[in-house]
Amino acid sequence: MEISLTLNGSPVSLTINPGDRLLDTLRYQLALTGTKEGCGEGECGACTVYLDGLPVNSCLIPTYQVRGHRVETVESLDPGALEPFERCGATQCGACTPGVVMTAWWIRQHPELLGTHSIRELMAGNLCRCTGYDGIVDSVAEALRGTGGKRET
């Protein structure tokens, strides 16, 4: 089937199968390999992308459901804005990192969330086995400085 959507800011048309997962379409059909598969069951968050501006697990989304919607992957983020993550040790092996960065960047874009949530709670859908999470949480807090958001961890 043919579907159209907005992908990383541009309109695209794709031929897909009904049984395709968004994660597979991104990685294997579109060669957007920044999004990773870690578990296939929505537990680890390595496959996090934005759907209409919200972070979601692309391993749990049938591609046909995004027709007419907006999808953004890690490839759409501005590398220059990721300096706090470099500096604060957010990444080690890198397998969880694109998913982490997607969720973290979304938090940064919504600093008001820290009025009701902690950074750790918001990041809990992104499993990491290398960092122990401090590097990630510190990076998010650093990224939030200058947005006026609270630095609660």
Partner 1 sequence: MLASDGAAIPMAGGTDLLVHWPVHVEAHERTYVDLSPLDPLKPLRWTADELLLGGLTTYWDVIRDARAGEEFPLLVDAARQVGAIQIQARGTWAGNIVNASPAADGVPVLMAYDAVVVLESRRGREEVPLDRFYSGYKQMQRRPDQLVVGIRIPRRRYAYQVFEKIGARRAQAIAKVGLAVTRSGAGWRVVAASVAPTIRRCPAVERLLETGAAPEGPDDLLPTIAQDVAPIDDIRSSAHYRTRVMARVLYHDLRDFWGQRA
Partner 2 sequence: MKRREALAKLTGRERYVDDLPLEGFLWGMTVRSPAPRGRVTAIRFGKDVDWSQFVVVDHRDIPGPNVVALIEQDQPVLAAGYVRHVHEPVLLLAHASREAVRRAVRSVEVAVAPESPALDFRVPPAPDQIQYGSDNVIKHLKIEKGEVERALAGAPVVVSGTYETGAQEHVYLETQGMIAYLEGDVLVVKGSMQCPYYVLKALQHALAREEPLVRVIQTPTGGGFGGKEEFPSHIALHAALLALKGGRPVKLIYDRGEDMAATTKRHPALVRHRTGLTRDGRLVAQDIEVVIDGGAYVTLSPVVLSRAIIHAAGPYACDHVRITGRAMFTNAVPFGAFRGFGAPQSQFAGERHMDVIAGTLGIDPVELRRVNLLRDGQTTATGQVVRDGTDRLAVMERALELSRYREKQREHAAFNATHATLRRGSGLATFYHGAGFTGGGEVALKSRLRVAGSPDGGVEVLSANIEMGQGTLTVFTELAAARLGLAPEDVTIAEADTGRVPNSGPTVASRTTMIVGGLVERAADDLRRRVGLDDSARGAAVKRAIGQWHREHPGEPLFGEAAYEAPPGITWDDKTYRGDAYGAFAWAAYVAEVEVDLRTCSTRVIDFVAVQEVGKVLNPTLATGQVQGGVVQGIGWALMEECKWRDGAMANNQLTNYLIPTSDDVPSVRVAFLENPYPHGAGGAKGLGELPIDGPAPAILNAVARATGVDPRAIPLTPERLMELLD
Residues that bind partner 2 (CB under 8 A): 27, 31, 33-41, 43-44, 46, 73-75, 77, 79, 82, 85-98, 101, 118-121, 123-137, 153
- Determine the Cα–Cα distance for residues 87 and 145; give it in Å rounded to an integer: 14
Please, are residues 152 and 123 in contact by the beta-carbon 8 Å criterion?
no
* 2, interface contact from partner 1, partner 2, none, CB < 5-8 Å by kind: none
From the list 66, 72, 153, 133, the residue with the least C-alpha distance to 105 is 72
Residues 24 to 63 in contact with partner 1, rule: CB under 8 A: 24, 40-43, 45, 48, 51, 54-57, 59-62
* 96, interface contact from partner 2, partner 1, none, CB < 5-8 Å by kind: partner 2
**How far apart are CB 128 and partner 2 at their closest, in Å?**
7
- Determine the Cα–Cα distance for residues 90 and 51; give it in Å rounded to an integer: 24
The backbone torsions φ and ψ at residue 139, rounded to the nearest 5 degrees and listed phi first, read -65, -40
Contacts of 121 (CB under 8 A, 6+ apart): none
* 51, interface contact from partner 2, partner 1, none, CB < 5-8 Å by kind: partner 1
- Determine the Cα–Cα distance for residues 145 and 83; give it in Å rounded to an integer: 13
The footprint of partner 1 (CB under 8 A) covers 18-19, 21, 24, 40-43, 45, 48, 51, 54-57, 59-62, 64-65, 68, 103, 117, 121-122, 124-127
